[in-house]
Amino acid sequence: MRIFLNDDAHEVDAATLAAALDALGFAGRKIATAVNGRFVAAPARPSTKLADGDRIEVVAPMQGG
Amino acid sequence: MFYGIELSSRLLLGTARYPSPAVLERAIKTSGAEVVTVSLRREGGAGRAGQSFWSFIQSLGLRVLPNTAGCHSVKEAVMTAHMARELFDTPWIKLEVIGDADTLQPDVFGLVEAARILSEEGFEVFPYTTEDLVVADRLVEAGCRVLMPWGAPIGSARGLNNVYGLKSLRAHFPDIPLVVDAGLGVPSHAAAAMELGYDAVLLNTAVAEAGDPVAMARAFALAVEAGRAAFLAQPLEPRDMAQPSTPVIGKAVLGGD
């Protein structure tokens, strides 16, 4: 299945957001996520099903003013 | 002071644009700030910058105020706030909805709308706004219990562009904590804001991009303290005519004219 993570295309074999994040190297990381413009809280990632073409946003802490 | 949280420092410091993490850490410690602003950005599977910044922030043991910097729409700002709340585990959000790319002036219409949505969702909103009194009223109606008017455009180092407007805001909202956020360049700007009776100042670039950020952090801390002390000491209002400081009664009559 082809999904987009922060605009980059990836082929993943993952049914859920949690599985896709694990497959793409985010396991255990301090991140927040959204799918197709909707915020997905961490506890909801394992139950969030992915479909071909879904757009995932992953953000992490950074410096700010 | 802010949503039931009492702080002893009246200086809030941003964490961006420092020459190195070591300088950032020393600047924060020297400033005495108890609240630092942070943000969030995309990170790929191979990236580690966010994780190391998160460890650094945790090691400081300070309160964090995440921002929605760079958001130009209500939807973007609201979603960013949700992500920030989860990432940083705080209901505090410095709400920025930018309306103009050149001045980074807040879109006050979007700001009020986003503030209402977020307040209803349990956020404690710190709105980055202009000094407009009516907008401020709407923000308070929307649930904001802190207001953060700009001194001048972000990063411009121009100081307090509209002292009259900031004074009016202070007079109109005696019980709402007011923070001058953005546009300060030198410590005298911070002192001036505090002398007006503002509760705190929030700055970033003025310290981060100074030639010596750590020394400048100290200078701002001193200025904030001096300005607050001056406000509490009830400063004079300017007057048009001179008034002799030395009493004239009893002056010797020595002739001559």
CATH code for the domain of A47: 3.10.20.30
CA atoms within 13 A on the CB side of A62: 15
* B150 touches B181 (CB < 8 A): yes
Of B16, B42, B47, the CB nearest to A63: B16
The chain A residue lying nearest B206, using CA atoms, is A65
Number of domains in chain A: 1
Q: A23 in a domain, yes or no?
A: yes
For the segment B2-17, what is each residue's pLDDT rounded down to a tens digit?
999 999 999 999 999 9
One DSSP character per residue, B147-213 reads BEE-SSSTT-----S-HHHHHHHHHH-TTS-BEEES---SHHHHHHHHHTT-SEEEESHHHHTSSSH
Model confidence band, residue A21 (pLDDT cutoffs 50, 70, 90): very high
HSE of B199, CA atoms in CB hemisphere, 13 A:
20
Within 13 Å and on the Cβ side, how many CA atoms surround B220? 36
Contact B87 A31 (CB under 8 A): yes
Q: What is the pLDDT of residue B256?
A: 76
Q: Is the pLDDT of residue B257 over 70?
A: no
Query: Considering the domain boundaries, does residue A15 fall inside one?
Result: yes
Residue A50, in any domain of the structure: yes
Which domain, by its residues, includes A7?
A: 2-59
Q: Which token pair is A18?
A: 């949690």
Q: What is the DSSP letter of B70?
A: T
Confirm whether the ipTM is greater than 0.90: yes
Q: In terms of Cα–Cα distance, which of B49, B104, B50, B99 is closest to B76?
A: B99
Do B178 and B170 contact (CB within 8 A), yes or no? yes
Answer yes or no: is pLDDT of B91 > 80. yes
The letter for the amino acid at B138 is R
Residue A34 has pLDDT above 70, yes or no: yes
Do A34 and A40 form a contact (C-beta atoms < 8 A)? yes
pLDDT at B105: 94
Give the pLDDT score at B232.
98
What is the arithmetic mean of pLDDT over B160-167? 97
- Confidence band, pLDDT 50/70/90 cuts, at residue B209: very high
Is pLDDT of B244 > 80? yes
Instruction: Provide the pLDDT for residue B48.
Output: 80
pTM value is 0.93
Q: Is the pLDDT of residue B245 over 70?
A: yes
Query: So what's the pLDDT on residue B45?
Result: 77
- Identify which of A30, A39, A41 has the shortest CB distance to residue B50: A30
| In-domain check, residue A65 | no
With CA atoms as reference, the chain B residue closest to A8 would be B44
pLDDT tier for residue B47 given thresholds of 50, 70 and 90: confident
Q: Evaluate whether residue A52 is within a structural domain.
A: yes
> Could you confirm whether B75 is annotated as catalytic?
no
Residue A55 maps to a domain:
yes
| A64 assigned to some structural domain | no
Residue B11 backbone dihedrals phi, psi, to 5 degrees:
-120, 120
How many residues does this entry show for chain B? 257
Min Cα distance A42 → chain B (Å) is: 8
pLDDT in tens, B105-133: 999 999 999 999 999 999 999 999 999 99
Closest CA to B24 of B54, B69, B63, B57: B57
Cβ atoms of B90 and B29 closer than 8 Å: no
Q: What is the pLDDT of residues B181-198, one digit of tens each?
A: 999 999 999 999 999 999
Partners of A57 in beta bridges: A34
Residue B49's pLDDT is 87
SS3 A10: strand
Say if residues B124 and B145 touch (Cβ distance below 8 Å): yes
